[in-house]
Amino acid sequence: MNRSIIFHVPMHLSRNQTSASEIRPFKIIKAFQNIGYDVDVVEGYAIDRKRQIAIIKGKINNGHHYDFMYSESSTMPTLLTEKNHLPTYPFLDFNFFHFCKAHNIPIGLFYRDIHWLFINKNRGWKQRIAKYFYRYDLRQYEKYVDVLFLPTIDMYNHIPFSFKRNIVELPSGCDIHLASENIEHKGLEILYVGGINGNYNLQTFMSAVSENPDIHLTVCCRNDDWMAVRSEYEQFERTPNITIVHKNGDDLKLLYEQADVFSLLFETSSQYLQFAAPFKLFEAIGYGKPLIGYRKNWSGKFIEEHGIGMACDSTFDDVTRSLHALCENKMLIRKYKERLSEIAPAHTWENRCRLIDNMLTKIKK
């Protein structure tokens, strides 16, 4: 008989799954099922969650045993996740936390991000009100959550509360893709997938690439993001060894397969992004692609620590030197690939769920 858990997320999840915050919950649910759990899901707008919670409460009152509840926060405050962003169901979710706690069901929560703490204080009244609700979430977590999961432990140093129970690092996971026939490029094929506007500045990286004709860079970003910054990057649009594309789904898979190296070389003025764990880092690990990132960011430190690529300083000279080293040393690329094949199994979504399981099932009831 399968073990049973509750998966809770206080928002409607789009089935299009275009962002990491939408992809991750589906990956976690599927991975729990893959390792043998029956998963009862609480998800959707409040009216749907209310119905799902009532069903689960009924099962518990009738003697059904749940091993634990695992929740993932929204990027918005819990009380403001309705379409109109009004707190029309102010007690729904945390009353459910209280109910689970009263029935000795351990609760783990993945606190997704704290970008709200880094927003300019003068952004407007909506942001100031939202901060009150974010802090309300933190007070509820202190009250009900047994294990707080974070993308990186570094993030905890910036959260304005003291969590006295277990804190565990839980970045995104990966799906391991069977390697297709190895493509040997004469030069170096680099792939970048992600943001290119706002807090993601690729100017130094793209300048270094443009100076080396033996390197080809594919930048994959949203079309709207590209149009917003196109005038700032127009010189690179005319560079023969840089290609800008807007792909997703199976087309994105093909880009990964064709790449030699995956890049996380974006500069950012956001302190928040410096300690974030990029979803794409682990996606690249799943594809077995060596990585290059900036040493000052969490991702660069992770790359160096695990020996799966190269980290450099964010100067033009150091980026140029690092790219040249990768381009000229195919043995180095092969070494990183061998290391990736060794560590990837430890970072699958299933192993992320095993960690959740391990931390929550040992909570004393």
HSE-up of residue 363 (Cα within 13 Å, Cβ side): 22
Terminal-to-terminal C-alpha distance of the chain: 22
Tokens of 292: 């290059």
Consecutive sets of 10 residues in the chain, 365 residues long: mean pLDDT of each?
92 78 92 97 97 98 97 95 94 98 97 82 71 94 97 92 93 87 76 90 96 96 94 92 91 92 91 88 97 96 97 96 94 95 97 98 75
Residue 364 has a pLDDT of: 59
Residue 149 has a pLDDT of: 97
Question: How many separate helices (H) and strands (E) can be counted in the chain?
Answer: 14, 12
CA separation for the pair 136, 113 (Å, rounded): 15
Residue 183 has a pLDDT of: 62
Residue 216 has a pLDDT of: 97
Give the list of residues 6+ apart from residue 272 with CB closer than 8 angstroms, or none: 113, 114, 115, 117, 118, 158
* Tokens 């927003």 sit on residue: 119
Q: How big is the CA angle at 85 (ends 275 and 272), to the nearest 5 degrees? A: 10
Residue 117 has a pLDDT of: 83
Residue 365 has a pLDDT of: 53
CA separation for the pair 191, 262 (Å, rounded): 5
Phi, psi for 15 (deg, rounded to 5)? -75, -10
| Domains of the chain from N-terminus onward | 3-173+348-361 (3.40.50.2000), 188-345 (3.40.50.2000)
Residue 86 has a pLDDT of: 93
Helix, strand, coil distribution of the chain in percent, nearest 5: 45, 15, 35
Residue 121 has a pLDDT of: 57
For residue 242, the Cα-to-chain-centroid distance in whole angstroms is 26
CA separation for the pair 222, 166 (Å, rounded): 38
Residue 213 has a pLDDT of: 95
Residue 45 has a pLDDT of: 96
Residue 129 has a pLDDT of: 87
Residue 118 has a pLDDT of: 77
